[in-house]
């Protein structure tokens, strides 16, 4: 069964140690709890799909610890940069053209204290961080919900209390200068009124 530790510096250090070893860790975010693994580890990626029973065709987004890290992974247009300036760190996932391996990549910079803590201890590798639950079930907002759902499949859950919004991130693609809403989430659609975004989810 997963060890549940408080989301403090000791917990962050243990989480970083496990992540660097290729393990999975449940972490609180500004939306819901996420199941973290190294984005550059095929082993960790395979484990996430297995633990979540996630369909292989569903791509995983990448979490970075600082907005400045985005340019390492994706090509940033002026429109994407404006959105990043306003909504990052925060509950916006942007799908942007990738530099390598895949045509596009979904990237998010969450507004949560452990990102700075990880940077302090020298950990800044990109993570994949889907919701910490079996696919199709409600996304967890407490450590106890994770323990009940997948606690027997991961070594560590960091307990940061109840997540602030309880909704997953809003996803918007910005490709070839055009922006399109892909998923409604924690950010209300009216927050994007200043941008020319196709809001039709059909």
Question: Structural domain boundaries of the chain?
Answer: 3-198
Q: What's the rounded mean pLDDT across residues 155-179? A: 92
Q: What is the mean pLDDT of the chain?
A: 94
Question: What does the alpha-carbon distance between residue 192 and residue 199 come to, in Å, rounded to a whole number?
Answer: 10
Q: Are strands 156-159 and 104-108 parallel, antiparallel or unpaired?
A: unpaired
Nearest to 23 by CA among 9, 34, 11, 37: 37
- Ranges 85-89, 135-139, 166-170, most confident: 85-89
pLDDT computed for residue 136 by the predictor: 92
Model confidence at 167, pLDDT cuts 50, 70, 90, reads confident
**Longest distance between any two alpha carbons in the chain, whole Å:** 47
Tell me the fold of 3-198.
Answer: DHBP synthase (3.90.870)
- pLDDT at residue number 201: 85
What's the mean pLDDT in 125-146? Answer: 95
pLDDT at 202 over 70: no
Confidence of residue 164 (pLDDT cuts 50, 70, 90): confident
Question: What average pLDDT does this structure show over 151-155?
Answer: 97
The pLDDT value recorded for residue 82 is 96
Cross-strand bridge partners of residue 172: 94, 181
Share of the chain above pLDDT 70, in %: 100
* Mean pLDDT computed over 153-160: 97
User: What is the per-residue pLDDT for 21?
Assistant: 95
What stretch of H or E contains 89? Answer: none
In sequence order, the 6+-apart residues with CB closer than 8 A to the CB of 88 are: 67, 108, 109
Cβ proximity of 163 and 30 under 8 Å:
yes
Query: How far is 128 from 117, CA to CA, in rounded Å?
Result: 18
Mean pLDDT of 26-36: 93
Return d(Cα 20, Cα 39) in angstroms, integer. Answer: 11
Residue 123 and residue 103 in contact, taking contact as beta carbons nearer than 8 Å? no
């Amino acid at each position: 069964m997963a060890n549940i530790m408080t989301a403090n510096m000791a917990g962050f250090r243990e989480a970083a140690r496990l992540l660097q070893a290729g393990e999975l860790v449940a972490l609180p975010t500004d939306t819901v709890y996420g199941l973290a693994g190294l984005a550059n580890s095929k082993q960790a990626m395979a484990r996430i799909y297995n633990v979540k029973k996630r369909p292989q065709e569903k791509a995983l987004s990448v979490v970075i610890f600082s907005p400045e890290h985005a340019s390492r992974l994706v090509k940033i247009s002026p429109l994407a940069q404006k959105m990043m300036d306003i909504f990052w760190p925060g509950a916006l996932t942007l799908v942007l053209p990738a530099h390598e391996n895949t045509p596009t990549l979904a990237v998010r910079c969450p507004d949560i204290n452990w990102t700075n803590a990880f940077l302090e201890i020298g950990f800044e590798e990109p993570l994949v961080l889907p919701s910490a639950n079996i696919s199709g079930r409600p996304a967890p907002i407490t450590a106890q919900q994770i323990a009940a759902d997948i606690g027997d499949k991961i070594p560590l859950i960091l307990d940061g209390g109840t997540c602030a919004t309880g909704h997953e991130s809003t996803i918007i693609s910005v490709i070839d200068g055009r922006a399109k809403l892909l998923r409604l989430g924690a950010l209300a659609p009216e927050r994007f009124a200043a941008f020319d975004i196709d809001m039709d989810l059909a």
